Amino acid sequence: MRWKLEKRRKLLLLLAILAANLTYQAGLNPPGGFWQENITGHVVGNPVLNDNYRRRYMAFFYCNATAFVSSLAIIMLLVNRKLSARGIQSHALGVCVVLDLAGLMGAFTSGSSRKVSTSIYVLVLVVAVLLCITL
């Protein structure tokens, strides 16, 4: 039984490290990229998504930041075996995992498409997958 818990801890740690890498990279290279030239009056180096779709960029930014911080919290809880046991008992680990998944899905939904209808379609698919996983 102890080896199953250790195996799960290692798998969750691997997934949290992958999520941290993914969100860090998405923060460095947001969807749409950055403005390269000052031809249209935009500031060079600002995110394109921020200038064209401000609310979607802010949703992406906050969801991505939430996923990044929660994946770092998961990594910190799982690196130390004593902290991981306490995190599981206090449900802190479960809350961090749910925040991480919600942040990743929100960032993907807000940054993946140009049309609002497509974003809603992706969001409905994400909710359907979450319902299937929980049931």
Asked whether the predicted pLDDT for residue 2 surpasses 80, the reply is no
Domain coordinates in residue numbering, the chain? 2-134
CA angle 32, 109, 46 (to 5 degrees): 25
Per-residue model confidence as pLDDT tens digits over 13-30: 898 999 999 999 998 988
Does residue 50 register a pLDDT over 90? no
- Whole-number Å distance between alpha carbons of 16 and 101: 10
At residue 47, the pLDDT reads 86
| pLDDT value for 17 | 93
Query: Judging by beta carbons within 10 Å of its beta carbon (0-12, 13-18, 19+), is residue 124 exposed, middle or buried?
Result: exposed
DSSP 8-state class, residue 44: T
Q: What is the pTM of this model?
A: 0.82
User: Helix or strand or coil: residue 56?
Assistant: helix
